[in-house]
């Protein structure tokens, strides 16, 4: 077996053992929660108001906490005064090994808002929460560090802010069982079972009748199934939560049964499928991201991902799909759910997929599993779905004539980008939208390469291709409206590349596209109109939240009527300067924390990566010269080179179009993410095919930058580091390195 083979066997055995152990932890009861103070256990409540009839929701804190007669909730805010300066202090209590503290608001958002434990013996303090939860509550689970404070303690909340507030509830003592549910095996189990759900769409596609069994065919069909499953689940649940639950339950059962059957048949026949290796890559990369996320804790519960890479932070966008999914599952009304925002402002595909994950959790509820785990369940599900970009990236690199190990290396290289790290973990549905569009591109490129330039498609192939392209574009838009500009550029390229077929193909693509998009437009119009806040902001510079009676085109006209042509030219000059990082952005920076004290000054680099588009690629730009200069690359296939250059042009053209059309915000997350993926794939391919000295330099710089700035440095900005999950993170990375590469990719078929 050899040393490497033995290490690989041990690593896989430990991984499977962790999944099994996590399953046991998952179904165990959490044990009894014990209040650490009584109702009269509050010594100081200056500037804090006790909650009246409004309490945290059942999914925000434990039921036992909500139902305890000793529980009280306080907030430094009142309806008449707003946010207030104040101090909340408990009477002394004995320190348990594990604490649970209900918390909400903006702890440490500014230096004058703190929530801490104070040791009465030496007056040392231990932070409890370190990140905001906005208007939501969370539940801090806090293991007490060994050796800290051998006596009694008290909990203190202090605020000098009159703009932000903090909310705190009665502290409870927790059990070791609750800690076990937060250890590495439990996290690995969550990821494994949710990955099985979403991977089943693609495993079924691999064995579908008529599938040519190529990775591209499996990717395309699986993507169509995933998109259809997410949208259908959303609409069915909206129509009837009862019927939606039954529908989703049957769908999950069929997905798992059919995919399990396919895998069993292939194992029995010793069949090998290249796309299985791509799915394994998806599994490992998303597992690394999940462990990276939970290797630290900010005390913010479901809002922990928002502050994981501080000073890079963002508002509520990653929470909205979860809120919509949970409202659907519980049968609550969607109109008005999000306050000033509307559910109709954002397409529903990811929310539908998260509802599927929520239904998968339902049988565990019947076994008595506490609902607090739902928050992590949603986050891990969203991360796996957002990480689906791995599939078209790996498949595309194989189509570009890279071998198995090179495909894996190129995909991991994309995974090391700031775009992939932050936007996969911060689970707004932008990368999944980009993944659908990237799939459409590689499908069109593969077909165009096969038939040759200027040639017509076969009569039977034409309607299928254009219908699939239209459907993939629609699913991309149903993930996030920000994909629109990239889809326009992609559509123009497809029209040019298939110019002899476009007269017949365009109506077919349009019919498929509209067949998917029109139900959502109808939902926006009839259920929660107008649903155009993000479009207004992009095109006119205002969300228009209090102007629902003013249409999109009226809003655009009003904005442009207020400026001259020379004003517009100045705006566009500023847009391209901001894209290049040559002048400060007027938007986005307000969400960032101060970063002057960050280790290695890495926070400054993360903030720059988060805001400025072209600088965010950092050392990936080293992949550009090999795309253009033959002396810097090894001999490559001409079609693959054209694909890389095409993605380069499409990506830059989309960014330029966005700068010309959008009003004032040109930071990274206002881009079409397929454009950023096009550039990353092109640059990664360029680095992989470069001369060995150049490739080694480029790969090393990309890996070191990602490892230090986005990997190691953020650990120093967290209040708690989970040692067991950190060890698991390192172990999984080593296991991924030890795994053998796949077979050499065949030519594009």
Q: Which residues pair with 103 in a beta bridge?
A: 138, 168
What is the rounded CA–CA span in Å between residue 246 and residue 283? Answer: 28
> What is the model's pLDDT at position 151?
86
Backbone angles phi, psi at 122, to 5 degrees: -120, 5
Handedness of CA 341, 347, 348, 354 (dihedral sign): negative
Consecutive H or E run containing 125: strand 125-127
> What is the model's pLDDT at position 219?
96
> What is the model's pLDDT at position 147?
87
Q: Are 677 and 617 in contact (CB under 8 A)?
A: no
Residues 6+ apart with CB under 8 A from 389: 414, 420, 424, 431, 432, 434, 435, 438, 677
Q: Which 8-state DSSP code applies to residue 690?
A: B
Q: Are 348 and 520 in contact (CB under 8 A)?
A: yes
Distances (CA, A) of 650 to 201, 559, 636, 748: 29, 29, 21, 21
> What is the model's pLDDT at position 595?
54
> What is the model's pLDDT at position 742?
47
Q: What is the pLDDT of residues 205-245, one digit of tens each?
A: 998 876 667 899 999 999 999 999 999 999 999 999 999 99
Q: Pull the structure tokens for residue 195.
A: 């990955």
Q: Could you tell me the fold of the domain covering 34-180?
A: Jelly Rolls (2.60.120)
Q: To the nearest 10°, report the CA torsion of 171, 175, 177, 178.
A: 10
Task: Please calculate the CA angle 696-701-707 and round it to the nearest 5 degrees.
Answer: 120
Q: Which 8-state DSSP code applies to residue 712?
A: I
> What is the model's pLDDT at position 656?
97
What is the rounded CA–CA span in Å between residue 427 and residue 376? Answer: 12
Instruction: Give the residue carrying structure tokens 């596609």.
Output: 205
Q: Are 289 and 425 in contact (CB under 8 A)?
A: yes
By the 10 Å C-beta count (0-12 exposed, 13-18 middle, 19+ buried), 366 is classed as exposed
Instruction: Give the residue carrying structure tokens 């549905």.
Output: 429
Instruction: Give the residue carrying structure tokens 């080179």.
Output: 641
What is the rounded CA–CA span in Å between residue 515 and residue 307? Answer: 39
> What is the model's pLDDT at position 746?
40
> What is the model's pLDDT at position 271?
74
What is the rounded CA–CA span in Å between residue 414 and residue 681? Answer: 7
Residues in the chain predicted with pLDDT less than 50, given as ranges, are 596, 742-749
361, 387, 385: which is closest to 374 by C-alpha? 361
> What is the model's pLDDT at position 212?
62
Q: What is the pLDDT of residues 646-668, one digit of tens each?
A: 999 999 999 999 999 999 889 99
User: Does a cis peptide bond (omega within 30 degrees of 0) precede residue 690?
Assistant: no
Q: Which residues pair with 159 in a beta bridge?
A: 86, 113
Q: Are 397 and 219 in contact (CB under 8 A)?
A: no
> What is the model's pLDDT at position 650?
98
Handedness of CA 209, 213, 217, 221 (dihedral sign): positive
Determine how β-strand 172-173 pairs with β-strand 73-75.
unpaired
- Distance between first and last Cα of the chain: 35
> What is the model's pLDDT at position 1?
52
147, 106, 160, 146: which is closest to 130 by C-alpha? 106
> What is the model's pLDDT at position 371?
56
CA 86 from centre of chain = 36
Domain ranges of the chain: 34-180, 188-276+310-405+428-525+533-542, 567-720
Angle between helices 430-451 and 418-425 in degrees, nearest 10: 130
Instruction: Centre a 10 Å sphere on the Cβ of residue 181 and count the other Cβ atoms it contains.
Output: 26
> What is the model's pLDDT at position 568?
95
Q: Pull the structure tokens for residue 147.
A: 């050796």
What is the rounded CA–CA span in Å between residue 665 and residue 678? Answer: 21
What is the rounded CA–CA span in Å between residue 643 and residue 662? Answer: 28
Q: Pull the structure tokens for residue 9.
A: 């066997």
What is the rounded CA–CA span in Å between residue 532 and residue 342? Answer: 9
Q: Are 671 and 480 in contact (CB under 8 A)?
A: no
């Amino acid at each position: 077996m050899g040393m490497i083979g033995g290490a690989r066997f041990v690593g896989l055995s430990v991984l499977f053992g962790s999944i099994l152990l996590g399953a046991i932890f998952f179904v165990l009861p959490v044990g009894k929660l014990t209040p650490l103070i009584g109702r009269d256990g509050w010594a100081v409540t200056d500037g804090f108001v006790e909650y009246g009839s409004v309490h945290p929701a059942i999914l925000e804190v434990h039921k036992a906490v909500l139902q305890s007669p000793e529980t009280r909730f306080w907030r430094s805010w009142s309806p008449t005064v707003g946010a207030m300066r104040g101090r909340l202090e408990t009477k002394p209590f004995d320190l348990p090994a594990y604490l649970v503290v209900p918390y909400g608001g903006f702890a440490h958002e500014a230096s004058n808002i703190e929530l801490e434990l104070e040791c009465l013996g030496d007056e040392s303090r231990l932070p409890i929460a370190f990140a905001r939860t906005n208007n939501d509550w969370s539940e801090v689970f806090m293991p007490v560090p060994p050796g800290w404070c051998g006596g009694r303690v008290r909990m203190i909340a202090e605020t000098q802010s009159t703009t932000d507030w903090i909310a705190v509830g009665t502290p409870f003592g927790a059990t070791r069982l609750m800690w076990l549910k937060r250890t590495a095996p439990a996290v690995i189990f969550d990821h494994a079972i949710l990955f099985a759900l979403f991977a089943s769409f693609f495993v079924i596609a691999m064995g579908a009748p008529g599938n040519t069994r190529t990775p591209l065919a499996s990717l395309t069909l699986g993507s169509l199934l995933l998109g259809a499953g997410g949208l259908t689940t959303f609409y069915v649940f909206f129509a009837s939560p009862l019927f939606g639950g039954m529908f989703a339950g049957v769908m999950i059962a069929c997905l798992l049964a059919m995919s399990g059957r396919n895998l069993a048949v292939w194992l029995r026949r010793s069949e090998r499928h290249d796309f299985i290796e791509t799915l394994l890559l998806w599994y490992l990369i998303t597992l690394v991201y999940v462990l990276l996320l939970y290797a630290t804790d900010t005390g913010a519960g479901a809002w922990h991902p928002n502050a994981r890479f501080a000073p890079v932070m963002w508002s509520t966008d990653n929470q909205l799909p979860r809120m919509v999914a949970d409202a659907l599952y519980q049968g609550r009304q969607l109109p008005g759910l999000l306050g000033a925002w509307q559910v109709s402002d954002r397409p529903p595909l990811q929310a539908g997929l998260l509802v599927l994950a929520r239904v998968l959790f339902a049988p565990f509820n019947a076994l008595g599993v506490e609902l607090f785990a739902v928050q992590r369940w949603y986050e891990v599900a969203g991360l796996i779905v957002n990480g689906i970009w791995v599939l078209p990236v790996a498949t595309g690199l194989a189509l570009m004539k890279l071998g198995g190990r090179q495909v894996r290396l190129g995909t991991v290289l994309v995974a090391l980008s700031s775009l992939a790290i932050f936007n996969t973990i911060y689970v707004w549905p932008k990368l999944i939208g980009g993944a659908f569009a990237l799939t459409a591109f590689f499908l069109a490129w593969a077909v165009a390469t096969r038939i040759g330039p200027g040639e017509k498609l076969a009569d039977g192939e034409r309607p299928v291709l254009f219908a699939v392209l239209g459907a993939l574009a629609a699913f991309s838009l149903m993930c996030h409206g920000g994909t629109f500009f990239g889809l326009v550029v992609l559509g123009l390229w497809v029209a040019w590349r298939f110019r002899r077929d476009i007269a017949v193909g365009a109506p077919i693509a349009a019919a498929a596209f509209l067949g998917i998009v029109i139900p959502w437009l109808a939902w926006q119009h009839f259920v929660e109109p107008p649903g155009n806040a993000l479009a207004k902001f992009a095109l006119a510079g205002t969300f228009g939240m209090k102007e629902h009676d003013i249409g999109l085109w009226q809003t655009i006209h009003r904005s442009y009527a207020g400026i001259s042509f020379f004003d517009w030219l100045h705006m566009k000059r500023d847009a391209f300067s901001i894209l290049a990082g040559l002048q400060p952005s007027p938007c986005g920076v307000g969400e960032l924390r101060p970063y002057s004290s960050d280790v290695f000054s890495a926070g400054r680099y993360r903030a720059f990566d988060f805001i400025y588009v072209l600088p965010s690629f950092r050392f990936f730009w080293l992949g550009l010269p090999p795309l253009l200069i033959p002396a810097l690359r090894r001999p490559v296939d001409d079609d693959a080179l054209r694909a890389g250059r095409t993605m380069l042009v499409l990506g830059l053209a989309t960014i330029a179009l966005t700068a010309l059309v959008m009003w004032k915000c040109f930071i990274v997350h206002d881009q079409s993410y397929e454009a950023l993926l096009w550039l990353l794939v092109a640059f990664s391919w360029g680095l992989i095919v470069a001369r060995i000295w150049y490739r080694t330099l480029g790969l090393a710089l990309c890996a070191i930058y990602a490892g230090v700035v986005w990997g190691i440095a953020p650990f120093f900005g967290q209040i708690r580091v989970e040692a067991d999950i950190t060890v698991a993170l390192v172990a999984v990375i080593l296991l991924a390195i030890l795994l053998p590469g796949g077979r050499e990719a065949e030519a594009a078929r």
